[in-house]
Amino acid sequence: MSLPVHGRPHDEILATLRAMRAVDVPWRAGRLYAGIYDPGPEAEAVIKAAYSEFLTENALYPNYYPSLLQLEATIVGSLKELLRAPERAAGSCTSGGTESILLAVKTARDKARAERPQVTTPTIVLPRTAHPAFHKAAHLLGLALRIVEVDPATFRADPAAMAAAIDDQTVLVVASAPCYSHGVVDPVPEIAAAAAARGIPCHVDACVGGIHLSVMRLAGMDVPEFDLHLPGVSTLSVDMHKYGYAAKNISLLLYRDRELRRYGMYSNARTTGYALINSGILSTRSGGPLAGAWATLQHFGQAGYINLVTAVMESTHRLIDGIGQIPGLRVLSKPDMCMFAVASDEVSVFLIDDAMSRRGWALQPQFAIGGSPANLHISVNHGNIGQEDAFLSDLRAAMEEARADGSLGDPGDLQAEVERIMAAPGPDSFAQIAALAGITPGSMPSSFAQINTVLNALPDPIVEQLLIEYLNSIYA
Ligand SMILES: *Cc1c(COP(=O)(O)O)cnc(C)c1O
367-376 pLDDT, tens digit per residue, is 999 899 999 9
Helix 288-324 to helix 66-82 angle (10° resolution) is 30
186 lines ligand 1 (CB under 6 A): no
- CA-CA distance, 213 to 338, in Å (whole number)? 9
Residue 269 belongs to a domain: yes
Structure confidence at residue 410 (pLDDT): 66
Residue 60 belongs to a domain: yes
Co-location of 72 and 196 in the same domain = yes
We report the CATH number of the domain holding residue 151 as 3.40.640.10
Structure confidence at residue 438 (pLDDT): 66
Residue 16 belongs to a domain: no
Structure confidence at residue 466 (pLDDT): 84
337 lines ligand 1 (CB under 6 A): no
Structure confidence at residue 448 (pLDDT): 87
Co-location of 204 and 68 in the same domain = yes
Tally of structural domains, the chain: 2
Structure confidence at residue 443 (pLDDT): 65
Residue 96 belongs to a domain: yes
CA-closest residue to ligand 1 atom 10: 97
Domain that holds residue 136: 50-296
Co-location of 76 and 209 in the same domain = yes
Taken as a whole, the chain contains a residue count of 476
DSSP string covering 42-75: HHHHHHHHHHHHTTT-BTT-TTT-HHHHHHHHHH
Residue 318 belongs to a domain: no
Which mutation among 242, 249, 250 tests ligand 1's pocket best, with the greatest number of atoms within 8 A of CB? 242
Task: Report, as ranges of residue numbers, the positions in the chain whose pLDDT lies below 50.
Answer: none
Distance 46 CA to ligand 1 centre (A): 25
Of 265, 296, 327, the domain-final residue: 296
Co-location of 286 and 415 in the same domain = no
Helix 412-422 to helix 460-474 angle (10° resolution) is 80
176 lines ligand 1 (CB under 6 A): yes
Co-location of 105 and 235 in the same domain = yes
96 lines ligand 1 (CB under 6 A): yes
Residue 173 belongs to a domain: yes
- CA-CA distance, 248 to 246, in Å (whole number)? 6
Residue 447 belongs to a domain: yes
Of 296, 324, 353, the domain-final residue: 296
Of 296, 329, 351, the domain-final residue: 296
Residue 351 belongs to a domain: no
Structure confidence at residue 432 (pLDDT): 80
- The CA distances from residue 152 to 7, 333, 363, 377, 444, in Å, are 59, 9, 23, 17, 35
- Whole-prediction pTM: 0.96
208 lines ligand 1 (CB under 6 A): yes
Tally of helices (H runs) and strands (E runs) in the chain? 16, 13
Give the residue among 386, 132, 379, 64 at the shortest CA–CA distance from 245: 379
